[in-house]
Chain A
Amino acid sequence: MTKPTEPQPPRPVGPRWATRLLHAFCAPHLVDEMAGDLDELFQQRVGTIGLRKARLRYIRDVLSLLRPFALKHKPTVQHFSKYPQHSSFHPDMIRNYLKIAFRNLGKNKIYSFINIGGLTVGMTVAMLIGLWIYDELSFDTDHLNYNRIAKVMLQQTVEGNTSTSEWVPIPLSTALKNDYGSDFSHIVLTHQTGEQILANGTAKLTQKGYYAEPEFLEILPLKLRQGARSGLNDPGSILLSESLASALFGNTDPINQLVKVNNKVAVKVAGVYPDFPNNSEFRDVAYVLPWTQFVADQEWVKRVEDNWGVNAFQLLVQLAPNADLDKVSAKIESVKATHAKDEAKFNPKAFLHPMSRWHLYSEWENGVPVRGRIQFVWLFGIIGLFVLLLACINFMNLSTARSEKRAKEVGIRKAVGSVRSQLIGQFFSESFLVVFFAFALSLLLVQLALPWFNEIADKNTSILWNNSLFWALGIGFSLITGLVAGSYPAFYLSGFQPVKVLKGTFRVGRFASMPRKVLVVTQFTVSLALIIGTIIVFRQIQYAKNRPLGYDRNGLVSVRMNTPELMERYGIIHTELLQTGAVVSVAESNNPTTGVYSSDNRLDWKGKDPNRPVDFNVVTCTHDFGKTVGWQIKEGRDFSRNFSTDSTGLILNESAIKYMGLKHPIGERIKWANETYTVIGVIKDLVTDSPFEPVKQTAFRLNYEWTNFITIRLNPKMSAREALNKIEPIFRKYNPASPFDYKFVSAEQDQKFRAEERIGKLATLFAILAIFISCLGLFGLASFVAEQRTKEIGVRKVLGASVFNLWQLLSKDFIVLVLISFLLASPVAYYFMSGWLKQYTYRSDISWWIFAVSGLAAIGITLATVSFQSIKAALMNPVRSLRSE
């Protein structure tokens, strides 16, 4: 024995967590003796078998003690053991829980509606967004060589501005083959065609496709439904997608039939491939034509076959099986610089852009990848999570709020003999039932909403009934929500002492409503941020839409000249169009007014900084172009037939003048390639490209050869329908080969806002749903508070409080919460939205009224929601609520 004076070494004890486990799961009346036994055995064993083994035995013993009997059997309450004691999870008990849960749902209809409704909406939104994200992430993944396919891209630096583009010169292909051939399985030159007319007799279709070298089929492993894989080797052939083949040939066998392309060449159908799926970057590739045909058909392609300076083609590669993408990408970096010495000054860098990143990560800014579509994936993902969170918050809030009311029920149940585990079972059954209903309903809603959602989002998704991940996520989420929402009543309430609750001395603590308030603030913060964001998105769209275009887009129609016939007969068409009276003026140009596709760097003028490279948009047009589109002359004059010298005349836009730094532009001589032009006029900027970007310096010159588009100004005195009816026969007569394919400039212009409008629409939808869910929760809480305070309201009324006083009393608390949310949401929304706006050069500001309006709207909505309940409470006859006491 040690002497009491000596310091005792600390007693070894069993693993702390195991002890805690025992305390958590063992019946309270047994814990003491169990722990004692465990401790005693442990002390002995430390002496006999060592500390480590003793600890292991300790853990084993604890686990062996976690048995149901320890939870339920109470030898101290002797009389219970006379009756058979069922398990709380006996099937009969579970049936009983569910029955009572059902009755509870039915009894509190409003409460059930709010809970199930809110959760359903939240889950529906989350599911839709989940499907959207899944679709975005699954782009191209079904290509067999997904991980080995890449695009070769080029980066060039001009004037410190680095541009990144997928357009490469043809010789790059040969260079890669010669220098790094062993790193690649396939290297394929391709060129995306614009819209071309494919015709078989009267069946004519305008479709986009690809010119590609034969190995294209190997890279994208196209499994032909019909025909031979060697099809692309033969210059006179074409491969069609299944849908295009059936549109052109119906049910007849298309193989070896002839298709006329642009009414120029006839090619033989060599094969039919299944359509590319909707979530593929190649989804609009309706046909594939052989590269050799492209070279033969387009003279300029032949000319640039060895030209490193013309970046106009796409280069697809498939890596060799043992090659590492990043290493190869680093290897080929200098390929253009070494082969094309005169291009080296632009510091060209080649790199591989893997297929897995095409869809989501294809935006560069100054040579650095910036977040492309992936940012929408994140944005929507976060919104979805938040909306779901809102719904869960409601659910939890209401169940905790209501649970105070149920304290009495707990007391009575306990008094008549319920044990705690049965109450836990009861509360969990109720929450799981609600979640289950919501899940089932949201599946139904998603199914119903999908067609409409697909239209807004431009998708073709469907519920992934067969996807185990979908079910695992859905069910996992439901279980967690049920557990979290049910846990408060299940564990907190079930622990009440019946005596206290029933005697009426039971008081919920002063801070019991605190977590609820925090949750309400969270909800409104999210809703408000969404509302503010939505307003800003819409304002930006509106702002860009209202931007002065510099021309009059109404009644302007553009027709692409897609066949040789049309180009040759422009003169007669021009005359006949004017004769109909449906047309005010007609002009030709090489670009439509809604887009400029060509730029030139060969301009030179007096005072130009020789070290500074130039880049101009160059538009060629005919005499009446200005008059037709309605541009505004600022200085000088328009092109005129009265001056034969105008063939070397130039009209510049304001941006060009600024760019060149000309003080007195009129009469200025400008060298272009090998010719000299004279500036005859300056026009106000025409917004031809992106409505969000600054207008580029542009030069207009006369040319009747280099034109691709006819622009027509319709007679404003006639309806557009009527005018088009008069125009169409003329085109049919002179250009029978192709369908009359016209586009309203205003519609084309609107197209440019599609992406933004899509975000706007989705954001509105989510914002509305978020505020709806939040209000549902508020409504529930308000009714709960009103109910809780009925007696107080009764007393106040008897003592002379007016309805208005009472309304004020009940609404005040909620308004304060909304105000706090507003203070939280404003800076957050400001931060994120100013980040979003930064991507646009031409952007609206974030003005104070946006915040004011959303704040007022939130308060208004809150008041409307809360008032219903508070006025109802205030109008109630106090006799009814006070009689019982």
Chain B
Amino acid sequence: MKGTYLGEFEEVVLLAVAIRSGDAYGATVVNEIEQQMNRAVNLGAVHSALNRLYEKGLVSSHMGGASQERGGRRKRLYSVTAAGRRALEEARQLRNQMWEAIPTTTWA
């Protein structure tokens, strides 16, 4: 097992899946990240991140319906699992904890 360590990009992708809850698949995740971060993201990078998240059990997937704008192809819909949610919370908590630890003089 690679463990549940969450990489920075993986975290972003996982968050995007959470935001797009119910409608998270490759293209929408890319859109979400591009909007939120205001930078171009490669589909391949997103796919491999989703794949890794899947391997770690942080997301689950099922095949969704086809739509006209996809040229009639089906999509794989992702949703955050309980373990995924825990990982996100842990990450957030870790950050908060570190934020708390910063002495006030630092920004002077």
Contact = CB atoms under 8 A, between A and B. Distances in A.
Interface in B63-77: 66, 69-71, 73-76
Contacts of B108: none
B51 interface: yes
Interface in B26-56: 26-27, 30-31, 40, 42-45, 47-48, 51, 54-55
Interface residues of B, number: 24
Contacts of A81: 55
Given A60-B42, A67-B48, A32 B74 contact: yes
Contacts of A726: none
Contact of A33 (B42, B48, B73): B73
Most buried by A among B30, B47, B48, B75: B47
Contact of A61 (B42, B74, B76): B42
Contacts of B61: 75
A598 interface: no
Nearest to A58: B43
Contact of B26 (A34, A43, A57, A70): A34
A33 B47 CA distance: 10
B27 A41 contact: yes
A57 B40 contact: yes
A3 to B, nearest CB: 15
Contacts of A60: 42
Contacts of A73: 51
A410 B94 CA distance: 52
B44 A39 contact: no
Nearest to B40: A57
A621 B61 CA distance: 109
B14 to A, nearest CB: 18
A37 B26 contact: yes
Contact of B71 (A35, A44, A70): A35
Contact of B25 (A37, A38, A43): A37
A718 interface: no
A21 to B, nearest CB: 13
Most buried by A among B55, B69, B74: B69
A607 interface: no
A226 B40 CA distance: 74
Nearest to B34: A41
B44 A41 contact: no
B51 A37 contact: no
Most buried by B among A11, A34, A37, A44: A37
A112 B45 CA distance: 46
Given A34-B26, A34-B47, A69-B48, A39 B73 contact: yes
A37 B75 contact: yes
A40 B44 contact: no
B6 to A, nearest CB: 18
Given A37-B27, A41-B30, A64 B42 contact: yes
A315 B67 CA distance: 85
A38 to B, nearest CB: 6
A382 interface: no
Nearest to A66: B44
Interface string A79-98: 00100000000000000000
A820 interface: no
B44 A65 contact: yes
A35 B25 CA distance: 12
B43 A37 contact: yes
A321 interface: no
Contacts of A43: 69
Nearest to B54: A75
B42 A36 contact: no
Most buried by B among A41, A60, A66, A73: A41
B43 A61 contact: yes
A14 to B, nearest CB: 10
A65 B43 contact: yes
A60 B48 CA distance: 15
Contacts of A61: 42-44
Nearest to A37: B26
Nearest to A44: B31
A32 B75 CA distance: 8
A36 B73 contact: yes
Given A57-B40, A60-B42, A64-B42, A40 B47 contact: no
A233 B69 CA distance: 92
A36 B69 CA distance: 8
A699 B19 CA distance: 112
A63 interface: yes
A16 to B, nearest CB: 13
B54 A39 contact: no
Contact of B44 (A32, A33, A35, A67): A67
B26 A33 contact: yes
A39 B70 contact: yes
Given A32-B74, A36-B73, A57-B40, A64 B54 contact: no
A63 B44 contact: yes
Interface in A20-39: 32-39
Contact of B76 (A33, A63, A65, A69): A33
Nearest to B71: A39
A41 to B, nearest CB: 5
Nearest to B63: A33
Contacts of B31: 41, 44
A69 B43 contact: no
Contact of B45 (A34, A64, A70, A75): A64
The 5 closest A-B pairs by CB, nearest first: A64-B44, A36-B73, A37-B26, A64-B42, A61-B43
6 contacts: A32-B73, A33-B25, A34-B43, A35-B73, A36-B73, A60-B42
Given A34-B26, A66-B44, 14 more contacts: A33-B25, A33-B26, A34-B43, A37-B30, A37-B47, A37-B70, A39-B73, A41-B30, A41-B31, A44-B27, A44-B31, A65-B43, A65-B47, A67-B48
